[in-house]
Structure formats: C-alpha cells, structure tokens
Amino acid sequence: MGKKDKTSDPLINANQTLSWSEWIAHEVKLAGQFIFCAGGILVCYFYFGIQQEVVVQGKYEDGDRFTYTQALVFFMCVANTIFAFFMRSKRCKDNVPTPTYALCAASYLAAMMFSNMALQFLPYPTQVLAKSCKPIPVLVFGALFAGKSYHFRKYLFVVMIVAGVALFMYKDKKSKAEEGGFGWGEILLLLSLTCDGTTTAIQDRIKKSYNRSSESMMLFMNLFSSLYLLVGLIATGELIGFIAFVQKYPKVFWELLLLSIAGCGGQYFIFKTINEFSPLTCSIVTTTRKLFTIIISVMFMNHPLSERQIMGMVVVFTGLALDAVDSKRQTVKSHAK
C-alpha cells in the first residue's frame, strides 16, 4: 500500500514507446524544465542573499543588531508553509507517512543547526567551503540507504564539481581561527553534512515509493520544521525578544516579508527539482549556485578573478558538462534497448 508503480513512470514508458522525434522533443522539454528549475533557484536565492544581508547586518538605532537567527528561520518556515498550502493541488493525493515527513524535517533542521553552531568555532568561508561538499554525502547516503545505484563516472563528476567549487572559494590566507587541528567546528560540520545526507536519502525514499507533489512535500517539511522551531523559540525565550525587536523596529517585518517571498520562491524551485529530477541533482544545483552568485557579482562589480578561481570555474563547468553528456548517453542506451 502506498507504493508507487514503477511501470507508470512516464519517463520509463517514454523510453519504451516514443519514436526518435518524439523522444528528442521529450528531452528538449525535460532540458527546459531543468533550466526553469535551476534558473529559479539561482534567481530567488541570489535576491535572498542580498535581502538576508539587509536584515542580519542592518544598522539599527542604539547599536542594536538582529541576532534572532532561530526566529528568522521560523518566520521563513511559516511563510513557506502558507505558500505551499495555497499552491498545493487538491487533486494530488499524498500518501507519505507523517512520521517520514517529521523525520525528514528533523534531519533538515539538524543540518542547519550544526552548520550555524560551527560558525562559533570557524570563520564563515570555511563553513561555506565545507558545505560545498554536500553532494558527496548525498551521493553516498543515497546509495547506502535509499537504494540508489550510480555509475563510477557519476561519483567522479560530482567530486569534480565539488573540487571546482572548493578551489574557487578557497582563501589563501588563513585566519587564526582556521589554524590548528581538528576541533569542534570541524566535528559540527561533519554532523551537518551527515544530516544533509540523511535528509536527501529520506527524500529519495519518498520520491521512489510514494505519491506526492513538490508543493505537498514543501508543505509538510516546513510545517514540521515550524513546530520544532516554535518549541525551541519558547524554550529559549528567543520568541519574546524577537517580537520586542520587531515592535521596536517595524521596518524589520517588511524586510523579513521580502526575504520570505524570495525564500518561498527558492524553496518552491528546490522541491520542484527534487520532485522532477532528484535530490542529488538539486544538491549539485544549490552547490554551484554559490559559484554563479559570485560570478554574477564579479560581472556587475568588476572584481578581478584569480587564476585559481578561473581554474575552479573550468573544473566545475567541465564536471557539469561531462555529467550532462553521460546522463544523456545513458538515456540513449536505455531508449535503444
């Protein structure tokens, strides 16, 4: 019960019954869907990053600073829940067990929590660099726990993409916080990456075994995340401080609203990518997003790129191109059988 019939997959049937002209048209349509999803993620989160900086690093009277990170995430999760509720089709039946969504949301929040906690011990560039390796645990956990099967070339291309992003974002000069051995910061980042892998493995299971829409997955993931965060906000007393801060500076509410709109759009495209492609594809897109964001910034601000950054860009785009070509070749082989 609740299992999805694999023979009903339109992609599988397309490979078995479509003519070559129809198949090419189908592939073009699929490529268009990917560009739409990836482009949506890039645009929404590019604006999201700008607006987040406005909120977190904004200048307020009396030297106040916005330090309510847990409340910020809660605000966005509530906005995402409301957005997904109204976007969800009534005709789509969701038979994913509630505990599965609850567990997925818990691992998602844990990844975010460990990542933010790591900033207490490590500088932000180190955290971003480590999180750029997210596709690797996604790949490994998908193979170990979600029954996914990948060719060796897929592992190679993902490592190329991650290495390219790391090369692009690596800082030559290390701060004092980065010097030294393996410490709490590194342990917390490893825990964060482990939770990332767990989240995507659960999402792979959901995609493979149950009927649901991207909006439905977005709704329940954010609903449970909101409930977990609400408990944390009440337990720590941060909710009262956040409300008092917004009352003192009303403009913060409107800035948070703009941030949430960008976040809603970004999450919509993320869950659409997971639903129509895979969590691994989504992970690769969100990882390379950091690189694209910097490239766009460089184009508009005329910041020069170092030789190492140019080399990193070449490695990333080579990995993406090889992965795309290999995926198409595997699809052609499947079609020819």
Summarize pLDDT for 187-214 with one digit per residue, the tens: 888 898 899 889 888 888 887 888 777 7
Q: Is residue 29 part of a domain?
A: no
Per mean pLDDT, which range of 9-18, 32-41, 97-106, 222-231 is the poorest?
Answer: 9-18
pLDDT band with cut points at 50, 70 and 90 for residue 261: very high
What pLDDT shows up at residue 322? Answer: 74
The answer to whether residue 233 scores a pLDDT higher than 80 is yes
133 or 234: which leads in pLDDT: 234
Considering only residues 84 and 275, tell me which one the structure prediction assigns the higher pLDDT: 84
Structural domain includes residue 164: yes
- pLDDT exceeds cutoff 70 at 299: no
**Domain for residue 9, yes or no?**
no
- Alpha-carbon span 126 to 130, nearest angstrom: 6
Cβ neighbors of 295 (< 8 A, separation 6 or more) are: 313
Per the document, the length of the chain is: 337
Q: Where residue 223 falls among pLDDT bands split at 50, 70, 90?
A: very high
* Inside any domain, residue 5: no
Cβ proximity of 115 and 268 under 8 Å: no
- And the tokens for 196? 């990332």
pLDDT at position 326 is 66
Q: Is the pLDDT of residue 136 over 70?
A: yes
pLDDT value at 174 more than 60: no
Residue 16 predicted with pLDDT over 60: no
pLDDT at residue 60 in the model: 79
Supply the pLDDT for residue 230: 93
Instruction: State the Cα–Cα distance between residues 173 and 170, nearest whole angstrom.
Output: 9
Question: Once rounded to an integer, what is the mean pLDDT over residues 263-267?
Answer: 88
How many independent structural domains does the chain possess?
1
Does residue 140 surpass a pLDDT of 50?
yes
Lowest mean pLDDT among 74-78, 174-178, 246-250: 174-178
Around Cβ 116, how many Cβ atoms within 10 Å?
15
pLDDT at 2: 47
Residue 6 pLDDT class (50, 70, 90 cuts): very low
Domain residue limits at 129: 40-336
- Does the pTM exceed 0.75? no
Tell me the per-residue pLDDT of 327-337, one tens digit each, with 9 for 90 and over.
Answer: 655 554 554 55
The residue with greater pLDDT, 325 or 13, is 325
User: Is there a domain that residue 6 lies in?
Assistant: no
* Residue among 41, 42, 45, 68 nearest 253 (CA): 68
The percentage of residues in the chain with a pLDDT greater than 90, rounded to a whole number, is 13
pLDDT for residue 228 is more than 90: yes
- Mean pLDDT on 239-257: 90
Q: Which pLDDT score, from 0 to 100, does residue 104 have?
A: 92
Residue at 97 is within a domain: yes
Q: What is the pLDDT of residue 270?
A: 86
What does pLDDT average to over the chain? 77
What residue has token string 């020069």?
A: 304
Residue 35 lies in a domain: no
DSSP category for residue 177: G
Instruction: List % helix, strand, coil for the chain (3-state, nearest 5).
Output: 80, 0, 20
Instruction: For residue 14, tell me if it sits in a domain.
Output: no
Q: How confident is the model at residue 295 (pLDDT cuts 50, 70, 90)?
A: low
